[in-house]
Amino acid sequence: MLIDGYEDDPLVAGEELISRPGFWAAYLMWMCGADEAGDPAPEWFGADAADADAACEALMDEEAWPVFRVPFSGGHSAVVVGRNFPDDRGTEYFVTHPGWGRRGYLATVDGHQAGPGLSWRELIHVANTPDHEAPGVHDPHARLLLLLPVLGDDGAPVDAAGVVGEALVRVGAPVGEAVRVAALLLDHPLWDAAHWSLPGESPLSGGGVSFGGILQCDGPGSPRSGMQLARGISPDQSERLARALGTWPA
């Protein structure tokens, strides 16, 4: 698999890993802190330790870096890359389009993480607008969970844990655990929940008058803080991206 910027790296399509027992525990369990039920465990995701360990080995394979593609409307794709250098492991999240000259940067999860990369509105819209003509993950629940680590939004609705919990149940988590685990995932420690607004819109305006564009994040560590999501794209491409992200009606 070839992706601009990763030409010398051993990338492989990772979508088949999603169906493996233990995948979601391996992919998401690190985001959960302990609670009254104890330390995070694979069983919270409907898996056992052996399956979770095997899935983790596949996710961290130095010879085959898994790539998960989440195609959404207008020819755009969110892409998750497991960067498996032996001494510099991490996960990169970005947006691509065949008409762009470079990637749009969402977030990095590693020892020097950068994020958040998506608002709740964007996460839900992207999860629910799969492009079935493009290769990648098309199930809305799996799409939501793949992109969940880059979410950071202090405006997430009160039923957010219920939405994420439903996605967890659909991928095999026990019904009785799902909402509790979802709440822990939404409270992950990588970055503080951030405010999202349109360019020129005051966070104190209560929504106020918008001036167009793509949502920006006030998180100090976010790649989307005060800058264009994808630099170098045309105004028309930027507008199409905003619509694909759910900022504006299609």
Asked whether residue 124 is assigned to any structural domain, the reply reads: yes
Residue 212's pLDDT band (cuts 50, 70, 90): low
Total structural domains within the chain: 1
Asked whether residue 49 is assigned to any structural domain, the reply reads: no
Check the CA dihedral 188-191-195-199 and report its sign. Answer: negative
96 and 103 Cβ atoms separated by less than 8 Å: yes
What's the angle, vertex CA 27, arms to CA 196 and CA 225, rounded to 5? 20
Greater model confidence, 155 or 227: 155
Greater model confidence, 227 or 40: 40
Supply the range of the domain harboring residue 226: 68-244
Which residue's entry shows tokens 């844990």? 161
Residue 69 pLDDT > 50: yes
Q: In this predicted structure, which of 125-139, 143-157, 222-236 has the lowest mean pLDDT?
A: 222-236
How many whole angstroms separate alpha carbon 96 and alpha carbon 126? 13
Asked whether residue 101 is assigned to any structural domain, the reply reads: yes
What pairs with residue 85 in β-bridges? 88
% of the chain with per-residue pLDDT over 90: 74
Q: In this predicted structure, which of 16-20, 189-193, 210-214 has the lowest mean pLDDT?
A: 210-214
pLDDT at 35: 79
Asked whether residue 36 is assigned to any structural domain, the reply reads: no
Residue 26's pLDDT band (cuts 50, 70, 90): very high
> What is the tens place of the pLDDT at every residue in 79-115?
999 999 998 899 999 999 999 988 999 999 998 899 9
The amino acid at 181: V
pLDDT at 189: 76
pLDDT at 91: 97
Question: Which alpha helices (DSSP H) does the chain contain, by range?
Answer: 23-28, 49-59, 120-127, 140-147, 160-170, 175-186, 235-244
- Please provide residue 100's backbone torsions phi and psi, each rounded to the nearest 5 degrees: -95, 155
pLDDT at 227: 64
Residue 202 pLDDT > 60: no
pLDDT at 203: 45
pTM: 0.93
Asked whether residue 126 is assigned to any structural domain, the reply reads: yes
In sequence order, the 6+-apart residues with CB closer than 8 A to the CB of 151 are 116, 118, 119, 120, 123, 186
Report the mean per-residue pLDDT for the chain: 91
How many whole angstroms separate alpha carbon 158 and alpha carbon 139? 24
Greater model confidence, 39 or 122: 122
Asked whether residue 34 is assigned to any structural domain, the reply reads: no
Greater model confidence, 223 or 35: 223
Residue 193's pLDDT band (cuts 50, 70, 90): confident
Asked whether residue 183 is assigned to any structural domain, the reply reads: yes
pLDDT at 200: 67
